[in-house]
Structure 1
Amino acid sequence: MKALKRSSDHRDYQRVPRVVTAMARDEVHGVSVAPHSHERAQLLYATEGLMKVKTAFGVWILPPRRALFIPPGVVHQWTSMSRVTMRTIYIEAKVAQAFGDSCRVIEVSPLLRELILSLLDEPIEYPLPGRGKHLAMLILSELAAAETVPIAIPWPRDRRLLAVCEGIVDDPGSPRTIEDWAAEAGASARTLIRLFPKETGLHYRQWVQQVHLAEAFGRLARGDSVGEIATALGYASPSAFSAMFRRILGKTPQHYLSGWRAPLQNAGT
């Protein structure tokens, strides 16, 4: 028997006596959820829309074919960058240990997507044994096999670098140079160049490229062309942008365009 109504409050899912629980929540553009954490691990996922997620260690931009695995206890906040249909799952902490102790972006396969949606058709406390348990076990299996996408924007703590990073994320296509950013932050360019690897583990250009990749995935999900994305991000040509994309991810933007558009156009919510 299906549940008549599901809560959209994450707190109602943390102590349900099931290994995996699923929550549906829809939001309009511009909603920000204050920093919080969960007893369980979370797979933060939306079938439609873009989300920006931030922790003390990084920032991630998630289009519909990406989800963020968040271990138990990790404080995070998220903002809807468009209308969002969130279909997220929570995993019992002991079981979630198998998936690691740090946040990571995963590729959501069509099967994993459908499994999550199917679990939402079951009661929150689905019968044991039964269909819900089988779906939950399949979700864990798909999650274990999911491809990790090497996109993360490490976040600094130094106040000068923090101001620079916030400015770049807010305007990824800005033509400003490291010298321009330094003048705004009240530091020398040499100081910023030294702080980037110290605070984020990436050199300045590497860090900016991660921002560009995150922005590109969001634009690809919206249907922008490679040429439009290259122009928006300040690249001299589509081929220059594609070369950067392929160098880091091993695949071209066209690969993602062809792989995303058909499933997204045919998928329901």
Structure 2
Amino acid sequence: MAKDYPAAYAVPPHAHPSGQIIYAVSGVMEIRTGTSLWLVPPQRALWMPAGISHAMHTRGSPVALRTAYVRLDRCPADAPAQPCAIQVSSLLRELILRAAKISPDYPEDSRDGRILSLILEEITWSPEQGLHLPTGRDKRLAATCEAILANPQDNRTLDDWASQHGATARTLSRLFTAELGVPFQVWRQQARVMAALPRLAAGEPVTTVALELGYDTPGAFSAMFKRLLGASPSRYFP
């Protein structure tokens, strides 16, 4: 499927009977699945297993969406049961663009079927945490996460957030570690990097983005960006 969406466009929660490879030729998508949030820039795709409800939101610029559907009987044995980032090579990009034009009921022994087979052989599953941000099930934790996502430059302390959402700092700290797997400060840094991705993809200067997201220096922001995504902002968005 090939479809273009304007900036700030929302697709409500839905699910598919087939596996889905979600890819944006341009723009950055936000995908939400229950208690998790994913950002999908053009350098990556997202594997969405069949039956998982998800919503999509385009961020600061239009998105050119290209989707390939994978029938259940064609899903590889090692395909994750949960959404997972996919590294997009030059070959995989071209294959996805071609597959976006393929009907879901393609004949098995056909050129379309062989293209889908090659896509599945080319996929490298990527546990890339920099593009995935869990938001938690506990109401106090979820409220804190959503508030930070809405205003990532907010520098309030863990004590401030705990007081606002009816918890002690110790309880909220424990919830971050137990439910999200990382301490509060690390989660907030990840949220800031994810907030930066759409802006950098749209061409905003690194210095402007870094300072407006609460970093003291562009260098500190670039170091965190590289630690999470494996490349500096200038290399990630050449």
Query: More deviation in 177-186 or 230-239?
Result: 177-186
| 1:36 paired residue number | 14
Give the TM-score of the pair, scaled to structure 2: 0.88
Q: Which amino acid aligns with 2:51?
A: G
8 Å CA contact retained: 1:61, 1:215: no
Distance 2:133 2:108 in 1: 41
| 1:205 paired residue number | 185
For residues 29 and 247 of structure 1, do their structure 2 counterparts lie closer, same or farther at Cα, with a shift above 3 Å needed?
A: closer
Pair 1:187 & 2:167 matched: yes
Q: Deviations over 1:62-100 (max 9, x none)?
A: 222222111122221122223222111111224324221
Pair 1:86 & 2:45 matched: no
| 1:117 paired residue number | 97
The SS at the match of 1:29 is coil
Query: More deviation in 231-240 or 90-99?
Result: 90-99
For residues 43 and 119 of structure 1, do their structure 2 counterparts lie closer, same or farther at Cα, with a shift above 3 Å needed?
A: closer
| Residue among 6, 23, 28 paired with 1:50 | 28
Deviation at 1:184, TM superposition (A): 2.2
| Residue among 24, 28, 33 paired with 2:2 | 24
8 Å CA contact retained: 2:85, 2:128: yes
Count the aligned residue pairs: 235
The SS at the match of 1:236 is coil
Distance 1:42 1:121 in 2: 14
Distance 2:19 2:104 in 1: 17
Q: Which amino acid aligns with 2:99?
A: L
8 Å CA contact retained: 2:28, 2:39: yes
Deviation at 1:169, TM superposition (A): 0.9
Deviation at 1:122, TM superposition (A): 5.0
For residues 187 and 146 of structure 1, do their structure 2 counterparts lie closer, same or farther at Cα, with a shift above 3 Å needed?
A: closer
The SS at the match of 2:237 is helix
Query: More deviation in 36-45 or 179-188?
Result: 179-188
| 1:64 paired residue number | 42
Alpha-carbon RMSD: 2.2
For residues 181 and 139 of structure 1, do their structure 2 counterparts lie closer, same or farther at Cα, with a shift above 3 Å needed?
A: same
Deviation at 1:147, TM superposition (A): 4.5
Gaps of 5+ in 1: 1-22, 259-269
Q: Deviations over 1:136-195 (max 9, x none)?
A: 22211222x365533211121111111110011111122222222223212222221121
The SS at the match of 2:156 is coil
The SS at the match of 2:92 is helix
